Structure 1
Amino acid sequence: MKKRIVWALFLLLGHQVVIAQLDIAAGLKEALTIGATKGAAALSATDGFFKNAALKILLPPEAAKIERTLRSVGMGKQVDEAILSINRAAEDACKTAAPIFTNAIKQMTVNDAIGILRGADTAATAYLKRTTSAPLTSAFKPVIDSSLQKTDATKHWTSLVNAYNKFSFQKLNPSLSDYVTEKALAGIYSQIALEEKNIRQNPAARATDLLKKVFGQ
């Protein structure tokens, strides 16, 4: 009889552990989904990148000389237009990011979730970055290409490079897509990290009972 009671208690405790682990996984997925959705929404809004001092995309580092040279010959307006159009392209592309993140979040395992919960304040974002960087870049780049065309970023950038190449023996490649894609993705991950920290550290940010249960422990 005692053995049956002990076995029953063991099964009950094991069941409770499984339920708790499933709650952790569900809570982490919910937190990441909220963070990814909010992050993408914030950056896809007009001026989401352009007026964000931390994430604003400037001209590529190798273009610093271009900017100085062109501003010195009275082409500051064209430089400003190029920078604005680059940021508009990133903002436009971010409109498509949330569903890609959401799909990746669904693949998170219970073991992943437990490790993330015990990790640093941005452990979930790090997991998301690790698991989505390659596929997201592949999916994101065509959108960036299209956005650069739509916002005239490619035209402005090509004009700047061509104008600079007339003044310099060191010619530069007018390709811009890879650089903007990298910066746009870095911006999204940075924004998601802020959302994750907020959920972990600020009880008021835990908008659902599940989040309160998982992160309130």
Structure 2
Amino acid sequence: MIKKVALTIVLAVTLTSCESQNLLKQVTDIYNQTTANGQLTNTDIANGLKQALNKGIDTAVAQVAKPDGFLKDQAIKILLPAELQKVDKTLRNLGMGKLADEGLKLMNRAAEDAAGKGKTIFVNAIKQMTFQDAMGILMGDKNAATQYLKRTTSQQLYSEFNPIIKNSLDQVGAAKVWSQIITRYNQVPMVTKVNPDLTDYVTNKAMDGLFYKVEQEELAIRKDPINRTTDLLKKVFSKQDGK
């Protein structure tokens, strides 16, 4: 009883919006009702959230860590950085559209090569998740799980992705292609010279794309019961739904 009262007080202090207060009441009622008869335990909640995250990660990584995973997906396709948009336009006006297209394709190929490394990093972060983390996700915003992964993995993802992307850009000749593109552009009279850090740019865009896909999977699990593919997912998220 003391544990239940303490949990209720802590949650009440941290959640202030009307919507959050309603959700607090639902979760507190669920906690009081189900832990007493063994239907839903702290372990159930934590494991349910971990299952949801693992499911989202598996699907998200599979979608992007393959040929055209970035290039043919308009939601995450890596476009040229702002300072190179004018480069692309100028090259096309000069009849070098194929060179510009090749540079764009190779950036996306590098992101696809790196994306597979995200799975292990995500899984390790999920293993470290506490019950408090799980409750925060369950009662948090609709993308709370994705935000948790961003907080706990972004630095490591960048460290892992950056050298892979650099190596990929070198291996597929992207660095050479972009060097040619930038050199030719900088030779055009009366233009402002550019020299962007493409490895850093592609690394950040690859991370953005991967997190976007994870978020879409999280939203699907929260919104549509058909995406809750295990008994535990159905059990935990049906309680969130107030069913």
Q: Mark yes or no: TM-score above 0.5.
A: yes
User: 1-side partners of 2:170 and 2:42: how far apart?
Assistant: 47
Cα offset for 1:61? 0.8
| Alignment of 1:115 onto 2:125 | no
User: 2-side partners of 1:140 and 1:207: how far apart?
Assistant: 31
Show structure 2 runs of 5+ residues with no match.
2-31
| Alignment of 1:28 onto 2:69 | no
The equivalent of 1:3 in structure 2 is none
List, as ranges, runs of 4+ consecutive aligned residues in structure 1 with deviation greater than 4 Å: none
User: 2-side partners of 1:169 and 1:66: how far apart?
Assistant: 9
What is the letter of the counterpart of residue 218 of structure 2?
A: E
More divergent stretch after superposition (179-188 vs 52-61)? 52-61
User: 2-side partners of 1:122 and 1:99: how far apart?
Assistant: 21
User: 2-side partners of 1:150 and 1:99: how far apart?
Assistant: 24
Show structure 1 runs of 5+ residues with no match.
1-5, 7-12
TM-score normalised by the chain length of structure 2 = 0.80
Cα offset for 1:100? 1.1
Q: Is the 8 A contact 1:31 1:196 kept in 2?
A: yes
User: 2-side partners of 1:69 and 1:147: how far apart?
Assistant: 26
Which aligned pairs between 1:146-185 and structure 2 lie closer than 5 A?
146-167=167-188, 168-185=190-207
RMSD of Structure 2 on Structure 1 (CA): 2.0
Cα offset for 1:131? 1.1
Cα offset for 1:98? 0.6
Alignment partner of 2:81 out of 49, 60, 65: 60
Q: Is the 8 A contact 2:117 2:160 kept in 1?
A: no
The equivalent of 2:4 in structure 1 is none
User: 2-side partners of 1:120 and 1:175: how far apart?
Assistant: 34
The equivalent of 1:190 in structure 2 is 212
| Alignment of 1:84 onto 2:113 | no
User: 2-side partners of 1:157 and 1:30: how far apart?
Assistant: 42
Percent identical pairs in the alignment equals 49
Number of equivalenced pairs: 206
Cα offset for 1:15? 10
Cα offset for 1:207? 1.0
The equivalent of 1:71 in structure 2 is 92
TM-score normalised by the chain length of structure 1 = 0.89
